Structure 1
Amino acid sequence: MSAVVVCAVVMVFYAVVYRHVVGRFGTLARRVAQAASLTERHSEKDVDDALKLAGAALAQLVLAVVLWLLVGPSTGPLVSGWSPALLALAALLGIGSLGLSAVLVRAVVGVTRGSAETWLASGGGGWVRQFRAVGRVASPGVAVVTVVAYVAGEEVVFRVVLLHVLEGWGPAAAVTVATALFVGVQAVGMPSLSAAFFPMVGAAVVGAVHGLLYLAVPALVPLVVAHAVFLLGATAPRVPASTGAVR
C-alpha cells in the first residue's frame, strides 16, 4: 500500500468508523451495563462513556493490527525497549510532555487574554470525558489497561505504520505528516474545535517528540508507556483551587 493510501485509510477510519460507528455504541453499551449491573453503582452517562471508550480502544487496535500486517514493518519495535531503566525514562518523558503541553496551552491562553478556567472546562468534553468516566466506573487496573490499549493502537498507527510508509519522504516530512494527522484526529468526537484545543496541542507535542524518538530508536513499548502516563495525567480529575493544591 502506498503512503497516500494508508494516510487516506487512517483519515477515513477516524472520520467515519471511529466517529459514527463507535459513537453509536450506546445500545450495546447499555446492554453490557445492565448485564454487569454497572448502572446500579454508577450513572448511566458514565457507564455509557466508559464502554464507548473501551469500544474505541478495540477498534483502534484492530486498525493497528490490520495496517501493520498490510504494510509490513518488522516486528523489531515489539521486542525492543523493555528494560526497566528505559521504561522509567519513558514515564518521565510522558510527564515532561504533559508539562510542556500545559506551558504551551497556558501561553496561548495568556496571549488571547482568555480565562484558563473557561478553556479548561471547554476541553473536558467528548473523548476526554470518556477517559475520566473510565476512571470512575472501572477498577484502577481495568482503567489502566483500557488506557494502555487505546494509546497502543495510536502509537502503532501514527508512529510504527505511518512513519514506516512515509519513510521515503524523508524524516522531517514523515514526522510532520504523521503528527499533522495525529493532531487532526483529536477533534473527532469533541463537541467543538475550541474543546479540542487542549488535545490538539498535546497531540502536537506527543506526535513530534514520539515521532523523532521512534526514528532514532524504533521501540514501541516505551512510547506506549510515555503516552499512557501523559494521557492519565491529562485526564485525571483536577483538585479544586480552594484546597490550596497546585493544578
Structure 2
Amino acid sequence: MDFTYPPEAEAFRKEFRAWLEGNLDPELAGRRSGLLDGGDDVVARLRAWNRTLADARYAAIAWPEEYGGRGASVMEQVVFAEEMSRAGAPGTLNPLGISNIAPAIMQWGTEEQKRTFLPSMLRGDDIWCQGFSEPNAGSDLASLRTRAVLDGDVFVVNGQKIWNTLGHLANWCELLVRTDPDVPKHKGISCLLVDMTLPGVEVRPLATITGEREFNEIF
C-alpha cells in the first residue's frame, strides 16, 4: 500500500499551513471547540473563528463547492486534520451538523431547507445537535420511544433523549421519532428538524466524571 501523499495534497498542506499561521487566534490554540465551557468570551471567539474558517472555505472542506466547501479529496481531508492538529486549531462549532446532518439535508432536503439551514450551519451562526439515543435505546435505535403525532400541519413530539452532544447550545436538532407504532420496530421512524427554542423543549446538562458538561438530556 502506498502511503505517499499526492502532489495536490502536499500543495494543499502548504497553502493551509500558511493560512493557519496568518489567521489562527493564538488565544484559541489548543482549545477543543466542542467543549464550550470557557464562558461567553470563549464562545464568542470560537464563533468568530468558525466564521473565519467559513469565509475561507475551510469550515467544511468536504462539502461541495456550491454549498461553501471545497469538494476536497480524501487525502486533502487527511492533510487538513493533520494541519489543524499541528497548529492546535479548534474545529467548527458544528461537528455533528457539518459531518452528519448537512449531508442528509443535501441528499434528501428540499431546496428551501438547503437555503435555510446550510449557510448558517457552515458559519456557526446556528449550532446543531442530534436527538438519537434514549434511556432505553442507545445503539439500538429501533427501540426508540419518542413519539411524534401529526396534528394538522405540525408534529407534536413527546419523549426523552439522552447523551445529546451540545444540546445546551444548539438552535436546531436532528430528531429521530416514532411516527407509526403499529409497524415492525425497524420501521415507522421519522427524522424531524426541530427548533430547540420552541416552547416545551427542555435541556438538562449532564456532568461527566471529568466535570465537563458537553452532554445533555432533552425533554
TM range (shorter): 0.3 to 0.5
Higher relative contact order (CA 8 A, sep 6+): 1
Higher share in helix = 1
Rg bigger for which structure? 2
Higher share in strand = 2
